[in-house]
Structure 1
């Protein structure tokens, strides 16, 4: 990897390959991904966490104290 890093980095950043797994002592040690792929993974993870939180909150929703979207919008007009 040391001698060919520049070429491998170019492969990832150009989109020629999506990722590279870097091994140390015959074991996976790290993954090299481009910035766009990393950001896409981060965005997807954030979306999944928000969805999980919404699902958890729905189970404890108190319908007596909820406000409709229309009522909330009217409050801020």
Structure 2
């Protein structure tokens, strides 16, 4: 890795390689990836977390306890 770092960095930054796993003593110790690929991964993970929370909340949803959109907006508009 040390000798070919520049070439590997160029491949990853150009997205010719999705990710590069770095090994030390035959064990994976790090992953190098393109910044945009990393951001895409973080965004997808956040979307999945939000979806999981929404799914969990739907299991306890009670329509008679819900607040209408208009009522919710009026609560926030009063604070202005």
TM-score if structure 2 supplies the norm length? 0.82
Q: Which moved more, 1:63-72 or 1:9-18?
A: 63-72
- The alpha-carbon deviation at position 62 of structure 1 amounts to 2.1
Shift of 1:11: 0.4
What per-residue deviation string (whole Å, max 9, x for no partner) do you get for residues 8-56 of structure 1? 1000001111110101111111110000000000000000000000000
Where structure 1 has 5 or more consecutive residues not aligned to the other structure, the ranges are none
Correspondence for 1:33: 33
Q: Shift of the alpha carbon at 1:70?
A: 5.5
Matches within 5 A, 1:47-62: 47-62=47-62
Equivalent-residue separation in structure 1 for 2:6 and 2:69 (angstroms):
53
- Give the count of matched residue pairs: 77
Instruction: Calculate the aligned-residue CA RMSD, in Å.
Output: 1.7
**Unmatched segments (≥5 aa) in structure 2:** none
TM-score by length of 1: 0.85
Give me the whole-angstrom Cα distance separating, in 2, the residues matched to 1:64 and 1:11: 56
| CA distance in structure 2 between the aligned counterparts of 1:13 and 1:69, rounded to whole angstroms | 45
Runs of 4+ in 1 over 6 A off after TM superposition: 74-77
